[in-house]
Structure 1
Amino acid sequence: MGAFVVLSGVLAGAMTAHAGTGKISMELLKAALVVGGTGGKGTLTYEGQSYPLSIGGISAGWQITLSVVNLTGNVKNINSPEDIEGVYSAAGAGLAVAAGGKAAVMVNGKGVTLELIGTQLGVDLSINLEGLSIRLKR
């Protein structure tokens, strides 16, 4: 039994140790009045290859938004390009008018983490929970 526990721990550590990293860039258009939507496109760069992305989402909560957001950042805990797919969530509270900065850390159900920074043009007065869906364009 003890050997099984040790072996399980070693295998779990090995799987985590081999998780890779990548880069992501995206351009999003956000529009909302209480309930809103986000649409956009992006690119995942992983192991020297580029993969086009389709991005969409919904948000609910107190918000008035019409903005364009450009984000770039790191992708962590990724083992294949398909791992980027899924719904990402993050709780946010922000106030940005005209040009402003944005930062977010988001995680999907596979444990893939996006660490994003970027700029925003437009108006975004919001306190909301957002769900961002990312898919590989096929």
Structure 2
Amino acid sequence: MLTLNEDLRQRLLAASLAARARSHSPYSKYAVGAAILDEQGRIHAGANIENAAYPQGWCAETTALSAMLMAGGRQARALLVTGPGPDLITPCGGCRQKLREFGAPELIIIAGDPSGIRQQWTLAELLPFSFGPDNLKSVE
């Protein structure tokens, strides 16, 4: 399992908070930022983007995954997501499944807010018994 040193954790936090500052959340006022570490050690950030037609918005994790893919990354190794605090923020169910598409069950998920890093889990802890790309290999 990947371990993150404190410098890398702080770089992820800074990238997530910077992305959060660019959130487009005029309706909920709930700005979220996310930063993903890819298999090449690069950090990709994203923010939530709301839309007046509520179902058409998307989450910060989705934006960060898109940035990772567009930059050539294919495997998420860690994600740090930040909200306004003081309550913990975790990826929603849909984002957990999107993260599973590009990350293994041992993907590190870290929650933070403007006060700093709050808690850490693995994707398997947040999405137990997940369905991922490896499940489809058995039907080939």
Query: Fold match, TM over 0.5?
Result: no
Larger strand proportion, structure 1 or 2?
1
TM-score by length of 1: 0.31
TM-score by length of 2: 0.30
Larger Rg: 1
Highest relative contact order (Cα 8 Å, sep 6+), 1 or 2? 1
